[in-house]
Amino acid sequence: MILAAGLGTRLKPLTDRVPKPLVPVGDAPMIAHVAERLRGAGCTPIVTNAYHHAEAVTRWATGTSVLVSTETELLGTAGGIAHAAGMLGEGAVLVHNGDVLVDVDLRDVIRAHEQSDDDATLVIVSGPARTGNVGTDVRGRVVRLRTETFADGEVSGGEFTGVHVISPRVRASLPGKGCIIGDVYIPRLRTQHGAFQVVVARGFVDVGSVAGYLRANQEWLTRRGASFRRSEGAGPSFVAPSAQVDVGVVLDRSIVGDGARVTGTGTLARCVVWPGATVVSPCSDAVIVPSAHSTQVR
């Protein structure tokens, strides 16, 4: 399940136009990249929840294999999963935040969970003990979550990436409204009823802020840009087939969407030009969105 019902307040003003799951990363909306990874791991069905600009999410999902669980009020991470129970079917569920790109093999995460009897398997990026929002012992068991410690022996800390597998017994206890961490995981750990393990990712990008959004696009170029357009002395750039770039423009690690136009002379560096937007070069480290007068967000 892709969690995608939030308001995206940290990504404003971009999310005034579209819901956070539909902001373009490289050549596709953010949610499309997450769905592609879930399909590659053999997940079926794939469900996303929607609240903010729900109709836009539904339009995007039409013709894909992704089902949409629409919420008429914000139900939280736990409530959203519970609300989608009929679409998800029975069994364990792999949950993936809709605003993160995580460097981990999801098949390994699923396999680790299937080989355990744990309440949940959390994907983290590890760090020193007592750092981050997750603490683990020498066996990779969760002994701290957020600021609350449940057992001694923390040897490693880490940041929760927003990717996890939830067991059927935890699904059965989900509230109709609430937070999966604060209202479900922490109470189970507090009463010693829950057992949680972790799988360590190589890294992740949170697309919840403008800085994180720009970084996600840069990482997309790094992973996929080997055959993309290059200017002499500059990094790879992606230009959609219907985009127009003036001859005097040098592209350096920028992404230019469908129907966008780059005018002027000079270098467009590390920019994301949304479909239909226009930008005058030179420009750097900005998101350019379409409007009566194109807007730059830094």
Give me the chain's average pLDDT, please.
93
Domain contains 218: no
Does 98 share its domain with 188? yes
Average pLDDT over residues 34-58: 96
Of 173, 206, 239, which marks where a domain is finished? 206
Does 292 share its domain with 171? no
Does 49 share its domain with 164? yes
**Domains in the chain, number:** 2
**Residue 262 β-bridge partners:** 245, 279
The structure's pTM equals 0.93
Does 6 share its domain with 141? yes
SS (H, E, C) the chain: CEECCCCCHHHCCHHHCCCHHHCEECCEEHHHHHHHHHHHCCCCCEEEEECCCHHHHHHHHCCCCEEEEECCCCCHHHHHHHHCHHHHCCCCEEEEECCEEECCCHHHHHHHHHCCCCCEEEEEEEECCCCECEEECCCCEEEEECCEECCCCCCEEEEEEEEEEECHHHHCCCCCCCCCHHHHHHHHHHCCCCCEEEEECCCEEECCCHHHHHHHHHHHHHHHHHHCECCCCCCCEEECCCCEECCCEEEECCEECCCCEEEEEEEEECCEECCCCEEEEEEECCEEECCCCCEEEC
pLDDT at 234 > cutoff 90: no
The CATH number for 56's domain is 3.90.550.10
CA angle 279, 284, 285 (to 5 degrees): 110
Does 238 share its domain with 181? no
Cα dihedral 8→10→12→14 (10° resolution): -60
Strand 295-297 and strand 287-289: pairing?
antiparallel
Does 258 share its domain with 186? no
pLDDT at 296 > cutoff 90: no
pLDDT at 255 > cutoff 90: yes
More confident residue, 293 or 114: 114
Average pLDDT over residues 140-164: 96
**How far is the C-alpha of 45 from the C-alpha of 37, rounded, in Å?**
13
Does 181 share its domain with 239? no
Average pLDDT over residues 137-161: 95
HSE, CB side, 13 Å, CA atoms: give it for residue 88: 24
Residue 186's pLDDT is 96
Residue 292's pLDDT is 46
Of 206, 236, 252, which marks where a domain is finished? 206
Domain contains 221: no
Domain contains 273: yes
Does 197 share its domain with 85? yes
Residue 293's pLDDT is 46
Residues 6+ apart with CB under 8 A from 192: 150
Of 155-164, 232-241, 263-272, least confident by mean pLDDT is 232-241
pLDDT at 73 > cutoff 80: yes
Domain contains 246: yes
pLDDT at 119 > cutoff 90: yes
pLDDT at 295 > cutoff 60: no
pLDDT at 111 > cutoff 70: yes
Average pLDDT over residues 188-197: 85
pLDDT, one tens digit per residue, over 195-228 is 899 999 999 999 988 999 999 999 999 888 766 7
Residue 226's pLDDT is 63
Domain contains 217: no
**For residue 168, cis peptide bond before it (omega within 30 degrees of 0):** no
Measured in degrees and rounded to the nearest 5, phi and psi for residue 129 equal: -55, 145
Of 5-19, 149-163, 235-249, least confident by mean pLDDT is 5-19
Residue 225's pLDDT is 72
Does 182 share its domain with 261? no
Average pLDDT over residues 238-244: 95
Domain contains 15: yes
Percent of the chain with pLDDT over 70: 96
Q: Residue 291: which pLDDT band, with cuts at 50, 70 and 90? A: confident
Does 198 share its domain with 270? no
95 token code pair: 């949950």
266 token code pair: 């000079």
Domain contains 220: no
Domain contains 288: yes
**Residue 166 β-bridge partners:** 93, 120
pLDDT at 270 > cutoff 60: yes
Residue 297's pLDDT is 67
Q: Residue 261: which pLDDT band, with cuts at 50, 70 and 90? A: very high
Residue 298's pLDDT is 66
Of 174, 206, 238, which marks where a domain is finished? 206
**How far is the C-alpha of 144 from the C-alpha of 154, rounded, in Å?**
8
Q: Residue 191: which pLDDT band, with cuts at 50, 70 and 90? A: confident
Does 183 share its domain with 265? no
- By residue range, what is the domain housing residue 105? 2-206
Does 109 share its domain with 199? yes
